[in-house]
Amino acid sequence: MRTKTEIISLLTDPGIIAIVRAQQSAQVVPLFEALLAGGVRAIEITMTTPNALAAIREARDKLGERALVGVGTVLDVNTCRAAIAAGAEFVVSPICRTGLVPIAHAAGCPIMLGAYTPTEAQIAHEADADFVKLFPADNLGPAYIKALLAPLPHLRIVPTGGIDMHNVADFLKAGCAALGVGSSLVSAKILQEANWPELTRRAAALVNAVRQAKAG
């Protein structure tokens, strides 16, 4: 069983968290395998996935320690507890639900709380969230994050929404701790066609872009 420190390390290196909104739970394991083949290890199953808890349990059972399985779109304490019981190793909420933090930490799980404004981001930090999920980030962009971190450098920002190959370097340069990547990586078309080789190709290209950005 991984410690919270080990999980945080895996979330930030290389720093890509794939956000999975699978159309059916049967897609989860082949989807995970495709992402792993491309070098993406941290994968968040959203609670909008059909039978999400069963999907989390299956991913943990079949992939073991090879993947870092998390849960997303967590809105309440009961869902948080259920997802952790199913095997989720990290918890992500799109909102600033501070009551989730002690539940996640009691189980040794890092947690990201959602924020959009500086006040919300600071509230998440003061609630002891490990990361602040800036959501939706596509209308804010790297310049906003750079401005946010100027007076609040202690925040560990993970933007979600609109992250793709073309802007990963800009987001990382702005000071992001990691990046949440959804439809630009795991697209609806890939899921519909079960095109796992294409998913592996996209994952590998994204990992390469992130590593180049960090090296540069």
Catalytic residues: 44, 133
> Could you tell me which residues are beta bridge partners of residue 188?
none
Query: Which residue from 134, 137, 135, 115 is spatially nearest to 124, judged by alpha carbons?
Result: 115
Query: Which residue from 97, 106, 105, 145 is spatially nearest to 124, judged by alpha carbons?
Result: 97
Long-range contacts of 140-143 (CB under 8 A, 24+ apart): 140/116, 141/167, 141/170, 142/167, 142/170, 142/171, 142/173, 142/174, 143/174
> Other C-beta atoms within 10 Å of 130: how many?
23
Cα torsion angle, 167, 23, 15, 35, sign: negative
Question: Could you tell me the maximum CA-CA distance found in the chain, to the nearest angstrom?
Answer: 46
